[in-house]
């Protein structure tokens, strides 16, 4: 029995298989309509989430399965003081697979150590969000046709953004990826990513403060939101939240085939006028999120 805690739990070969399956699903979703007949997915969300929970639910329904669960800690036994270990033992009796989101880092790992069913980490605090990374990789692979030989710009909150850290960790396994980090001084990439991931693996990177200074070099631009919930000081958040706004003017500097990705939700870091630009693929990315979760559920339930 396998779980997914970290995007690096799967080798690049295993990811290729997963993405191939996701592409088959995209090409012919009807073929997979009854793959999970009689199976149940438990969505245990100890903190609110719209996209991820609905994406998991949509994925399971698309496969013919059913869904049960809770969408915040207040409506679970956690409000009565039940431990994650006890909850997952109980859930294992009700469902065939579980997706868990928890504000505490490592909670899904604790769950996986006690579970009798496959557990998927659907986000644990500022730590990991592996299915978002799988979504990002599938989007790039599907729309760029490759997961190598490109320059990717990561823009916004590079300090607290877990999607950014996970994506960097996942991309360094592919050849010839050049990173460009665009952030204000206060939200630069943390030292441990710089030293333990990039320098250690001799990965080239550049850092900029202004998006305009590097826009023309990018094959992909991964925008992120400055997350209010990661700040202890509201004034600091207000000062930094509008540091980057991607608009039509800035897009004029970009390559004709550059793609814009965003893990969503967006606040105002991408102007709505950019949505019409064919290079804006962040809503397609949401659709790829469903395909990759469908492929993941099938893989972990050994239905492939």
Binding site for another protein (CB under 8 A): 83-85, 102-107, 109-110, 124-127, 192, 196
Shortest distance (Å) from residue 273 CB to another protein: 37
Q: Which is nearer to another protein, 127 or 225 (CB)?
A: 127
Catalytic residue among 129, 159, 165, 225: 129
H or E element at residue 99: strand 97-102
CA distances from 183 to 126, 164, 203 (A): 18, 12, 19
Does residue 52 carry a catalytic annotation? yes
Position of tokens 């990513």? 193
Q: What is the DSSP letter of 269?
A: S
Q: Which of 78, 170, 190 is nearest to 128 (CA)?
A: 170
Q: How far is the CB of 196 from another protein (least distance, A)?
A: 7
C-alpha closest to that of 212 among 174, 178, 244: 244
Rg of the Cα trace of the chain? Answer: 19
Phi first, then psi, for residue 72 (nearest 5°) are -160, 160
Comparison of 111 and 177: residue with beta carbon closer to another protein? 111
Q: Is 101 a catalytic residue?
A: yes
SS3 69: strand
Catalytic member of 3, 39, 43, 52: 52
Catalytic status, residue 262:
no
Task: List the catalytic residue out of 3, 40, 53, 101.
Answer: 101
Active site residue 80: yes
Tokens of 62: 């698309």
- Minimum CB separation of residue 241 from another protein in Å reads 22
Q: What gap in Å lies between CA 269 and CA 71, rounded to an integer?
A: 27
**Minimum CB–partner distance for residue 54 and another protein (Å):** 25
CA distances from 123 to 27, 54, 103, 304 (A): 28, 14, 8, 25
User: Can you tell me the distance from the alpha carbon of 90 to that of 267, in angstroms, rounded to the nearest whole number?
Assistant: 38
Q: Between 14 and 82, whose beta carbon lies closer to another protein?
A: 82
- Length of the chain equals 304
> Least distance to another protein from the beta carbon of 76, Å?
14
Q: Quick check: helix, strand or coil at residue 288?
A: helix
Residue number, 65 or 123, with CB nearest to another protein: 123
Closer Cβ to another protein, 98 or 218, answer by number: 98
Q: Which is nearer to another protein, 6 or 285 (CB)?
A: 6
CB of 127 to another protein, least distance (A): 6
Pick the catalytic residue: 2, 51, 114, 255? Answer: 51
Question: Is 51 tagged catalytic?
Answer: yes
Catalytic residue numbers read 51-52, 80, 101, 129
């Amino acid at each position: 029995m396998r779980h997914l805690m970290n995007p690096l739990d799967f080798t690049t070969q295993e990811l290729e298989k997963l993405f191939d399956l996701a592409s088959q699903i995209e090409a012919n979703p009807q073929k997979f309509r009854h793959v999970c007949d009689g199976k149940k997915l438990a969505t245990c969300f100890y903190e609110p989430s719209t996209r991820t929970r609905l994406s998991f639910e949509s994925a399971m329904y698309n496969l013919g399965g059913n869904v049960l669960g809770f969408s915040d800690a207040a409506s679970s036994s956690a409000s009565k003081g039940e431990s994650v270990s006890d909850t997952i033992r109980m859930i294992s009796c009700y469902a065939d697979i579980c997706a868990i989101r928890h504000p505490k880092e490592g909670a899904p790992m604790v769950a996986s150590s006690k579970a009798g069913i496959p557990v998927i980490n659907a986000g644990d605090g500022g730590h990991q969000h592996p299915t978002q990374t799988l979504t990002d990789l599938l989007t790039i692979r599907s729309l760029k046709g490759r997961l190598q030989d490109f320059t990717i710009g990561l823009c916004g909150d590079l300090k607290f953004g877990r999607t950014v850290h996970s994506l960097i960790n996942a991309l360094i396994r592919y050849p010839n990826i050049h990173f460009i980090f665009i952030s204000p001084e206060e939200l630069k990439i943390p030292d441990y990513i710089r030293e333990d991931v990039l320098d250690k693996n001799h990965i080239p990177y550049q850092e900029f403060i202004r998006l305009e200074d590097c826009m023309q070099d990018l094959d992909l631009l991964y925008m992120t939101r400055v997350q209010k919930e990661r700040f202890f000081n509201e004034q600091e958040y207000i000062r930094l939240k509008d540091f980057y706004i991607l608009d039509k003017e800035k897009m004029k500097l970009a390559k004709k085939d550059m793609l814009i990705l965003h893990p969503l939700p967006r606040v105002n870091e991408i102007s709505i006028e950019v949505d019409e630009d064919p290079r804006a693929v962040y809503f397609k990315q949401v659709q790829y999120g469903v395909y990759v979760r469908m492929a993941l559920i099938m893989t972990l339930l050994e239905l492939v």
